[in-house]
């Protein structure tokens, strides 16, 4: 798919994982993509991961788009304001797409404990990282879209079902993003701007590959450790879902909804980079839920 000439996107939290996959697919569709995050060359974030915003931007450009890396801590409103001011000045006020993929809460999540046994400050910080950052970024960026009466905001979450995610603080952060999409969509609909939530399935992120001791090329070796890994998807899969949504002339009808990579793949006919079309929702219902 190709996007309109001059298409401008901001992928907030585009350093790795879904954010990187989305940014790269937008580049392949011809977009100018501002890639933000805290992990920059020479200035890594507290996560201690090797991926950087510069690497993502270079991948965007290599795919045919234009990648622009900017180091931004989205918990700091002044930094987000400066980002949006710069983008607006450089692009003559044009912002077609905002993807809120900021997270960073995995290392703070304690599984297998009750919420009162979970360190409170770590749980609260998960809300700052996973919800407040999205709201702060939309607060500054939405006026650019509203001024032109067009645009799409995609709120990336984890899971679309109402089931409990196994940790109160994690659950609250991911469900909060779904409500953000609903509420932002209601406020922005009269201004011509659409907001949707979007979830990938079992994501074959850089961190997950490391966890299983495999690479993007040898990922199937990880199935021996977790059978569910067979139904996983690359970050490019959800990236193709975002491109499909951004190119959809009927996107406004979806405002406030939370969508899935697997359902959109079936609707729009795209596949993952290896030609497969994983359907985590169907797999989860058949092999995970209730087991």
pLDDT digits (tens, 9 = 90+) for 112-155: 999 999 999 999 999 999 999 999 999 999 999 999 999 999 99
Q: Is the pLDDT of residue 290 over 70?
A: no
* Mean pLDDT for all residues in the chain: 96
Strand order in the sheet with 66-71: 66-71, 32-37, 8-12, 97-100, 152-156, 194-199, 258-260
The predicted structure's pLDDT at residue 166: 93
Residue 198 lies in a domain: yes
CATH number at residue 148: 3.40.50.720
Helix axes 235-247 and 17-28, enclosed angle (nearest 10):
50
Rounded-to-integer distance, Cα 266 and Cα 285, Å:
17
Residue 180 lies in a domain: yes
Residue 143 lies in a domain: yes
Per the structure, the count of domains in the chain is 1
Q: Is the pLDDT of residue 82 over 70?
A: yes
Residue 136 lies in a domain: yes
Q: Is the pLDDT of residue 196 over 70?
A: yes
User: Mean per-residue pLDDT for 40-49?
Assistant: 79
Rounded-to-integer distance, Cα 59 and Cα 35, Å:
11
Q: What is the percent of the chain with per-residue pLDDT over 90, rounded to a whole number?
A: 92
**Higher pLDDT among residues 47 and 108, named by residue:** 108
* pTM of the predicted model as reported, rounded to 2 decimal places: 0.96
Q: Is the pLDDT of residue 174 over 80?
A: yes
Residue 192 lies in a domain: yes
Q: Is 283 a catalytic residue?
A: no
Residue 282 lies in a domain: yes
pLDDT band at 48 (very low <50, low <70, confident <90, very high): confident
User: Mean per-residue pLDDT for 86-111?
Assistant: 97
Structural domain for 155, as ranges: 8-287
Residue 3 lies in a domain: no
The predicted structure's pLDDT at residue 163: 87
Rounded-to-integer distance, Cα 10 and Cα 242, Å:
12
pLDDT band at 161 (very low <50, low <70, confident <90, very high): confident
In the set 34, 164, 170, 283, the catalytic residue is 170
Q: Model confidence over 214-262: pLDDT tens digits? A: 999 999 999 999 999 999 999 999 999 999 999 999 999 999 999 999 9
Which residues are paired to 199 by β-bridges? 260
pLDDT band at 184 (very low <50, low <70, confident <90, very high): very high
Residue 22 lies in a domain: yes
DSSP structural state of residue 119: -
């Amino acid at each position: 798919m190709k996007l309109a000439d001059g298409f401008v996107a901001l992928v907030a939290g585009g350093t790795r994982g879904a954010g990187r996959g989305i940014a790269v697919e937008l580049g392949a569709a011809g977009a100018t993509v501002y890639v933000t995050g805290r992990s920059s060359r020479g200035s890594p974030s507290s996560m201690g991961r090797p991926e950087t915003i510069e690497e993502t931007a270079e991948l965007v450009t290599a795919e045919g788009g234009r990648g622009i890396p900017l180091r931004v801590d989205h918990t700091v409103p002044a930094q987000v304001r400066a980002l949006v001011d710069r983008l607006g000045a450089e692009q003559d006020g044009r912002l077609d797409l905002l993807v809120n993929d900021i997270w960073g809460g995995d290392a703070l999540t304690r599984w297998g404990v009750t919420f009162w046994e979970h360190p409170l400050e770590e749980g609260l910080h998960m809300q700052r990282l996973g919800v407040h950052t999205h709201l702060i970024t939309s607060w500054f960026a939405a006026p650019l879209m509203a001024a032109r009466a067009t645009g799409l905001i995609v709120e990336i979450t984890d899971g679309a079902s109402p089931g409990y995610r196994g940790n109160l603080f994690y659950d609250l952060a991911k469900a909060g993003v779904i409500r953000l999409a609903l509420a932002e969509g209601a406020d922005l609909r009269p201004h011509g701007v659409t907001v949707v939530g979007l979830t990938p399935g079992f994501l074959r992120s850089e961190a997950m590959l490391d966890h299983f001791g495999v690479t993007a090329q040898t990922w199937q070796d990880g199935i021996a450790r977790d059978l569910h890994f067979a139904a996983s998807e690359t970050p490019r899969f959800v990236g193709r879902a975002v491109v499909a949504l951004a190119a959809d002339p009927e996107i406004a009808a979806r405002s406030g909804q939370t969508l899935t990579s697997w359902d959109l793949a079936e609707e729009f006919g795209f596949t993952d980079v290896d030609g497969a079309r994983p359907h985590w929702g169907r797999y989860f219902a058949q092999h995970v839920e209730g087991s």
